[in-house]
Each structure stands twice: as C-alpha cells, then as structure tokens.
Amino acid sequence: MKPPRQRVAIVGSGMAGLVAGYLLANDKEGRFDVEVLEMQDRLSLDSASYTLPREFSRSGTGTGTRNESRHGDGSTQNSAKHRNAPEEIEKEREEERVDLPMRAFAAGYYDNLRKLYSHLGVQFDEPRFVYSLSTLDSTDDDTATKKRTATKGGNYFIHSSNNHILPPIRPAGLSIARWVVEVAYLLFWYTWFTLAAFFIRPRTITTKTTTRQKDFYSSGGLTTTTTHSSETLRSYLARIFLPNYYTTRYFLPLMSSVTTCTHDELLDFPASDIVAYARRTFRRPHYTVRGGVRQAEGKLSAGLRVRFGARVVSVTSLEDGRVKVRWRSTSKKVRTHTSSARMNGGASASASAAEYDVAERRVGAEAEEVEEVLEEIYDKAIIAVTPDVVGSIFEPLVREMKDIPTTSVQSVVHQDFARIGDCSTQLRRNPRFASRTARSSSSSSSTSASGPVSAAIHMYTNLRTGKTESIHEHLSSMLITTYPIDEAIDESKILHRATFTRVLRSPRSREIVNGIFRPQVNSRRHIEESRKGWKNGDGNVYLVGGWCWDGMVMLEGCIVSAIRVADALGVDVPWAR
C-alpha cells in the first residue's frame, strides 16, 4: 500500500519556486501534492515584464494603444490550476515581450539554467552585445544640461562582448591618438585582472576570539571561537593593484550593471563572487530566451495548483513535523447597485472571478477587496522569496535575514532618446555593428535563418555618486533603462515602470547563507558549532532562491537551490542526469 501523498506549500512563484514546484509535481512516484501561494494575481517570474504595444512590436501589425498588459490569467479567483491554452500561446507568439529585469545569461556560470531551458524545450538566442561607456557631468543639476553633456562629451569607450568587433569602434569626439592610448591602457589592465582572477585567489580572513565561560556547568575555563570572513572586492582590487581609473571607468560600471547596485555596494561584495563569475564567464557567449522568460514560466507552471492573492504572514514548524502556513487572502466581494444582480436570495456574497465579471458587466457592480486570514497544515513548506520577506514570516531566521542586504531597483520602458542620441546614431551608422547578427542556439529548436541584429547597451556613470545606469536599445525602437541614476527621462515618453527587490552580498551575508545551506562537518570538534542556528530543511521547511547558494544572486542560484531541495526529498532531476 502506497503511503499518502504529502502536501507541499511553496511560498512565491519566481524562478526558484516554480522550478521546485515543477520537480515535486513531476515526481516519478507521485508522492507530492504541490500548492503555490502567490500574493499577486499573476505568477511573479514574469510579472514585472512588459508586452510592447502592437505599433512598436516587430511581429505585430496595425495600430495599438500604450498599455501595461502582463502575463497571467488576470483573474481574481483564489485558487486555480495554472495552464496555457493553445490559443493563448498562439496569441503570445504574436506579441513582443520585454523581460524586466533583463534575463540574459552566460554560458559557464548558468550551466544548470541552460540545461533546464533545453529540457523544457525553451528556445534561446545568442545575441552579441555592444556596450558604450559614458560619464555624466555630476556638477550640474540641470537635467537638460546633463543630457547634452552625456551625448556630446561623455562617451569614452565602445566595447563588444567577447571582442567580436575588432578593433573596437572609436567613439565620436575622441582623437585617434587618445583612443589608441585608451585601448592600450584597457588591454593591459584587463589582461592583468583576468590573470589575477585565475591565479590570485581571494583570501579568507580567520579571526579567533577567546572568552571565559561563566555558566553553571563550566569551571571558568577559556573558550576559543574561530570565525572566517571573506575578503571584500574592495580589498581584493587594492591587493592586486588595480588602478582607480580602470576600476571606476571600466570594471565597476560593467559589473554593477550585472549586480544592479551602487559601486560602493558592489565593492562590499565578497571578492570570491566576482572572481568566480569572471573566471567562469571568460570568453563564453551570452544568451537570451526567445519570446521572454514567460516561455519558461508557462512550461514550469503548467498543471500547478496556484493560490493567487495569498500574502503569507507566517510559516511555523509544528511539533508533529508538519508545517502551518498562515496567509491573508485578498478576494473580491461584489456590491451591486440593483437587487437584480444580488446572489443568494439578495444577500451580498463573495463571488468567483467569472461571477464577478458577469455581475460587473451587467449592472455596473462595484468590487470591494475583502481580506481574510486563512491557514492550512502542510507536510512540508518551501519558501521562495527574498531574505527580507523570509525574516518577516519565518521566526527562526528573523535575526539572520536582517544582515542580508537588499535594495530596490527600477526598470523603465520608454522612448526618450535624448541621453543616448549621438552614440546611438553612431552605432547604427557603423557597418561593423549593423552587419552583426545573433545566432539561434538551442538544442530543442531549428536555427533561425536570420536572427536579430546586435544589441546596444549604453552605460552612464555618475562618478561623484558611484552609480551606473544601463540603457538597452530594444529592436522595436524602445529603450529599457535599468537602475536610472537621475530623473532625466521625459515622463511623457514612459510606457512602463517596474520596481523589484535586488538581494546584495557581503562577507557577513555569505557567512549566514553558507551556515544555513552548507552540509554539516564530520569533525567532532566542529559538529556542535556547525549545528548552531536553523539549517535548511529543519522542521520540514526549505529555502530556495537566487540568494540561496554561495555565488552571485542570479537565476542560476534559483536552479541550484531547487535541485538541492529535490535531492533532499529524493526527487529525480531530469536535466541533471
């Protein structure tokens, strides 16, 4: 006789939550009933992304309106089986989706993500990026002046991914002599940093603290506690003598566009994160998902039971080994203007999404959001949210999560070309840039005969504030600005704005994460210390997310942490065979 199926709650529907749900729901032995709890009315992996209006879409025809439609069923129902009907998928193919944040990934660092996409049959392309680097005049607060300064004199280098355009394109306004000197300088220090990344490893700083025991059971002896701290990127760059000019104008702008944070925040990262990323992505191609990350979202969520409008407020391990999950459920209650639309004999009642839509269309019913607190008992819970949210809903990690830094990042879709003006024009007119095309690269699809042209990404750095924004030129005459450093974008030209939480890294946060996820050591001397604090899986609660591994907070961490949970529960990972 088969044991009863185990109920598993997954809090959050980002990449980590969906991959964990996909693996458990497709367990060969059928041991798990999975339910995803999502506070929005749509899955969160693709929720910040944007569908281009038809007049701007390359694949669309006819006219359209500026809208902010997002993937998701848009319903107000509390629980549903998530599915993509064939007609919906066909409609999505006619639309053009812009991933927010940008979901480019590099071979070498994202091996598990690539294997997942290939397993799902998701197609991805190999674009060739061209980066223009510029500085802004931070001494003038006038927005118009900033724009003029950026377009006229700020551009100092144009770099192609993996140097696919050689020699580099010379920025307009730079003399040949100055450009040659700049290229030679960059080549020398880039080579030096690359060699350092491979041969000079970041240090681990060991600190021993001696304290005298004063508890009842001790005799007042001395106890030595050993702590290990990671070397920061700031310390590492100083140790390898990387000059300030190269660091502030090349290294930090490029890396901070990946981590989407200030230069100071990036310099506080563990050096091991950045060095490992540099080693593993060296001369490796970059990829983007064709059709946007919603292609993966649809395949991962197919058949999953998703409870929308469920804001989880607590996850508690019970003494019997089960887990109690409490959430605030946001539902719609219909209040009508005429008695003809009242349900249940004229009494106001909560309606399903379909009932609510019908009532609203017929008599102009008003919808009131009604919030109620619900709870259920599960056999296991998987928390797939950011550390700040984990600390607010899971009591054993309240203190630790406060030491994991996060920041708020904004992406803006717009048509304000004032800042990139001259540089964009120069690139479009350059035959070496225009002739480059992307190659389709997917084992699950045929190769496209003609891929998209090279993608231009303009990076503007305010040297005074230590911030860099990136402006991606989309092929549909749209711009996507990520982490804008000022308010220079014309509000009338903004089509869509999205804000999301970015998890940062520090030596302290690395220590916390490794303490939660690292397996216990076998040495008797360290076994007691290694078990201090909550460990992943204790009380049948698991954590997954881009931050739940020893590396950069990227989608790869989502896959790695989801695989870790699957392994702990004895679930097969098909793409890891």
Q: Report residue 84 as tokens.
A: 């993509």
Whether 300 is in a domain gets the answer yes
Q: CA 234 to CA 202: how far, in whole Å?
A: 11
Burial (CB < 10 A; 0-12, 13-18, 19+), residue 498, is buried
Domain total of the chain: 1
Ranked by mean pLDDT, the top range of 126-130, 369-373, 424-428, 466-470 is 466-470
Whether 150 is in a domain gets the answer no
Q: How confident is the model at residue 425 (pLDDT cuts 50, 70, 90)?
A: confident
The average pLDDT across 80-85 equals 50
Name 524's Cβ contacts closer than 8 Å, sequence gap at least 6. none
Whether 122 is in a domain gets the answer no
Contact 346, 339 (CB under 8 A): yes
Residue listed under structure tokens 């919030």: 371
Query: Count of CB atoms within 10 A of residue 12's CB?
Result: 27
Name 561's Cβ contacts closer than 8 Å, sequence gap at least 6. 16, 517, 543, 544, 545, 546, 548, 549
3-state secondary structure of 89: helix
Say which residue, 114 or 1, is predicted with more confidence.
114
pLDDT at 444 over 60: no
Say which residue, 201 or 341, is predicted with more confidence.
201
CA atoms within 13 A on the CB side of 488: 28
Say which residue, 552 or 437, is predicted with more confidence.
552
Q: Tens digit of pLDDT for each residue in 377-392? A: 999 999 999 999 999 9
Q: CA 119 to CA 489: how far, in whole Å?
A: 40
Chain centre to alpha carbon of residue 187? 31
Beta strand extents in 12-72 (DSSP E only): 32-38, 50-51
Q: Tens digit of pLDDT for each residue in 224-276? A: 656 678 999 999 999 999 999 999 999 999 999 999 999 999 999 999 999 99
Whether 496 is in a domain gets the answer no
Whether 113 is in a domain gets the answer no
- State residue 220's pLDDT score: 57
The pTM score is 0.82
Say which residue, 50 or 214, is predicted with more confidence.
50
- State residue 455's pLDDT score: 85
Give the Å distances, CA to CA, from 223 to 54, 94, 511, 519, 536. 69, 67, 21, 24, 28
Q: Tens digit of pLDDT for each residue in 273-284? A: 999 999 999 999
pLDDT at 63 over 70: no
Closest-CA residue to 349 (of 362, 363, 336, 337): 336
- State residue 8's pLDDT score: 98
Whether 223 is in a domain gets the answer no
Q: Tens digit of pLDDT for each residue in 330-379? A: 765 443 333 333 333 333 333 333 333 433 344 444 556 678 999 999 99
The average pLDDT across 97-104 equals 89
CATH code, domain carrying 297: 3.50.50.60
Whether 309 is in a domain gets the answer yes
Residue 66 belongs to domain spanning:
6-101+293-330+369-401+507-576
Q: In what order do the strands lie in the sheet with 479-482?
A: 155-160, 129-135, 455-462, 467-473, 479-482, 406-414, 494-503
The average pLDDT across 318-330 equals 95
Q: Report residue 233 as tokens.
A: 């990127």
Whether 60 is in a domain gets the answer yes
Name 485's Cβ contacts closer than 8 Å, sequence gap at least 6. 136, 460, 462, 465, 467, 468, 469
